[in-house]
Amino acid sequence: QLTMSLNSSTLLNEENAQGPKNTECLESLELQTPSSFQDNPLQQLQLASQEVLEKAKKSGRSKCPRCNSSRMFYCYTCFVPVETVPTKEIPTVKLPLKIDIIKHPNETDGKSTAVHAKLLAPDDVTIYKYPCIPEYEEKRHEIALIFPGPNSVSVQDIAFHLQKYTKKGVCASDDDCSREPLLKQAKIEPEEEKNPSECISSSRSEGTRLKKIIFIDSTWNQTNKIITDERLQGLLQIELKTRKTCFWRHQKGKPDTYLSTIEAIYYFLVDYHQEILKESYKGQYDNLLFFFSFMHTLIKDAKCCAGKE
């Protein structure tokens, strides 16, 4: 039986939230009944045991071992589990590439699903608070940005489009390869001339050379300031169009394909594993949704108890 406390007023106001803010740390309203297995859209995930979260939920808020702040499950400023959630009982996910998350300065730390990625894949995820972000221009041949827009491409097309990017320039001998890269044209020096057939045949190998993915963590109304930053111009831009969000603070008026940060990371990796690495997916990244799926169940139950569904 679920017995977590969630603030009832918070729950009642969630559907009226002005933006897809990520609320991970729910903190008050007694849940009387768990949601049924059939009602959970995340039910097919291959997750590590969430018993540690059940126990922590029953014991309530605990201290962060680093800053001593009172938190539920984990500290969203130190990126570590609280004292009642032993690190050894939290799954660790190894990712096939590195991930940079650029967080808007006005996005509340406690409402960000980006923290989940850092907690569960600490060796492969870095979180930056805008405007303190890296310079990406020199490595744009191996980096892509996840963001919907008119110039974005699908995961399946990464290999084809990434072939236009090289360390110092673009393939200049083929019409398609030499055209202006997506978004703003960066200042580059031409590389030695390549055979057009070589440029095309290398597309798959170039695609697998992708080494880093960038995600923007903010409400949709805040993204313009970050996405227009000159340091992100000229990067290959990718949109995830085939997945629907399960997020409990989805912004009204936005497509249901606009995902929360942790969902976007998870679904991108699943598609990348199948479409680019050409390997069978067997739940390798499911534990990235370890916290998200648990919170999804609690929110759904709380809404049911509050008469919202």
Every domain of the chain and the residues it spans:
46-90, 95-162+208-308
Can you tell me which residue has the tokens 């590389």? 191
Q: Are 295 and 24 in contact (CB under 8 A)?
A: yes
Is the predicted pLDDT of residue 251 greater than 90, yes or no?
A: no
Q: Which residues of 141-153 are buried (b: 16+ CB within 10 A; e: fewer)?
A: bbbbbbbbeeebb
Question: pLDDT tens across 14-68, in order?
Answer: 333 333 333 333 333 333 334 443 344 577 899 999 999 999 999 999 999 999 9
Q: First-to-last CA distance in the chain?
A: 20
Nearest to 207 by CA among 141, 149, 152: 141
Tell me what the pLDDT averaged over the chain comes to. 75
Rounded CA gap, 45 and 1, in Å?
A: 21
pLDDT category of residue 189 using cuts at 50, 70 and 90: very low
Rounded CA gap, 162 and 56, in Å?
A: 45
pLDDT of 9: 32
pLDDT of 307: 63
Of 238-242, 258-262, 292-296, where does the model show the most confidence?
A: 292-296
Is the predicted pLDDT of residue 86 greater than 70, yes or no?
A: yes
Is the predicted pLDDT of residue 258 greater than 80, yes or no?
A: no
**In the chain, % of residues over pLDDT 70:** 66
Quick check: helix, strand or coil at residue 173?
A: coil
pTM more than 0.85: no
What are the start-end ranges of the H helices in the chain? 8-13, 51-59, 114-120, 158-162, 175-178, 196-201, 203-207, 223-227, 261-275, 290-305
